[in-house]
Amino acid sequence: MSITYDYKGRSVVITGGAKGIGLAAAKRFHSSGANVSLWDMDEGRLNEVKDNFSGKIDTQVVDVTKWDSVNAAAENSFKSIGGADILVNSAGIAGPNFKTWEYPIEEWMKVVDIDLNGTFLCCRALVPFMRENKYGRIVNIASIAGKEGNPNAAPYSAAKAGVIGLTKSLGKELADMNITVNCITPAAVRTEIFDQISQEHIDFMLSKIPIGRFGTVDEIANLITWLSSEECSFSTGGVFDISGGRATY
Ligand code: NAD
């Protein structure tokens, strides 16, 4: 039985919300009374989610790497859900697995662009509204890879380390404005992102988790919804571990 938070009247933007962790978080927010807007570039899946969602939900087709696209989505979401009290940056890709010296250049750029620059652009678009509103909660989905550096996943590890740095900087900049910025660093969770990763790398990630299993999207959504709550008021710029014991720091 999950805890229900009081999110009535709160507006939540979730990037990467058509699938996986973002979608699980969307369900928790929605069942807690929030008005939710899902941002994703996968239009087909967004439509499917909208059709099957148990309630009203806003969806925006967005490419988080494009400033114009992010800005337009922000405007549309404001009209549709009444603002953006909470931003969850979950859009991301893993990229393929190669040694760094063999990593395809285009693929490197793509991973960093989506995972790091996309997170920046969404914060860039929504923080001014939060400042005006004198309230905000931002949760960035980084990764254990950003703390530890996974071999054969250098752009992903580097981008997620960048998300941790961005979280710490922005958290301090907004610390006296009733806006918190935190990130989480999950170990592996079986979602469609696994389709991008080699079986060898999946086995490696599992072997590193002392609890001996993958996390679940609901376990990750639990932490996201707590970090996004009003109750979580004295943590900002924080890096919250959720790695089945892999990282004990
Ligand atoms: P997922 O593939 O299920 O969902 C990611 C979503 O992001 C997809 O719906 C995809 O369409 C969307 N997306 C990708 N590029 C986009 C873009 N340019 N613009 C807008 N949307 C875009 O993956 P997930 O497992 O739910 O991952 C969510 C987040 O959690 C990612 O940032 C990922 O790096 C992070 N994470 C995942 C795991 C894991 O093992 N699943 C572990 C640690 C961190």
Average model confidence (pLDDT) across the chain: 97
What residue owns the CA closest to ligand 1's atom 8? 16
pLDDT tens digit sequence for 105-128: 999 999 999 999 999 999 999 999
DSSP codes, 45-64: HHHHHHHH-SS--EEEE--T
Of 21, 39, 41, 59, the one to substitute when testing ligand 1's pocket (max ligand atoms within 8 A of C-beta) is 21
Number of domains in the chain: 1
pLDDT tens digit sequence for 74-84: 999 999 999 99
Q: What is the number of H-type helices and E-type strands within the chain?
A: 9, 7
Alpha carbon distance 198, 194 (integer Å)? 8
pLDDT tens digit sequence for 188-221: 999 999 999 999 999 999 999 999 999 999 999 9
pLDDT of amino acid 65: 98
Alpha carbon distance 222, 38 (integer Å)? 18
Is 249 among the domain residues? no
Which backbone phi and psi does 152 adopt, to 5 degrees? 70, 15
User: Quick one: 177 exposed, middle or buried, by C-beta within 10 A (0-12, 13-18, 19+)?
Assistant: middle
CATH classification at residue 52:
3.40.50.720
Is 123 among the domain residues? yes
103 noted as active-site residue: no
Is 3 among the domain residues? no
Q: Which domain holds residue 44?
A: 11-242
pLDDT tens digit sequence for 24-72: 999 999 999 999 999 999 999 999 999 999 889 999 999 999 999 999 9
**Confidence band (pLDDT; 50, 70, 90) for 159?**
very high
What is the pLDDT averaged over residues 9-38? Answer: 97
What 3-state DSSP class applies to 178?
coil
Helix (H) or strand (E) holding 77, with range, is: helix 67-81
Is 1 among the domain residues? no
Report DSSP state, residue 176.
G
Q: How many angstroms is it from 181 CA to the middle of ligand 1?
A: 19
Which backbone phi and psi does 56 adopt, to 5 degrees? -85, 135
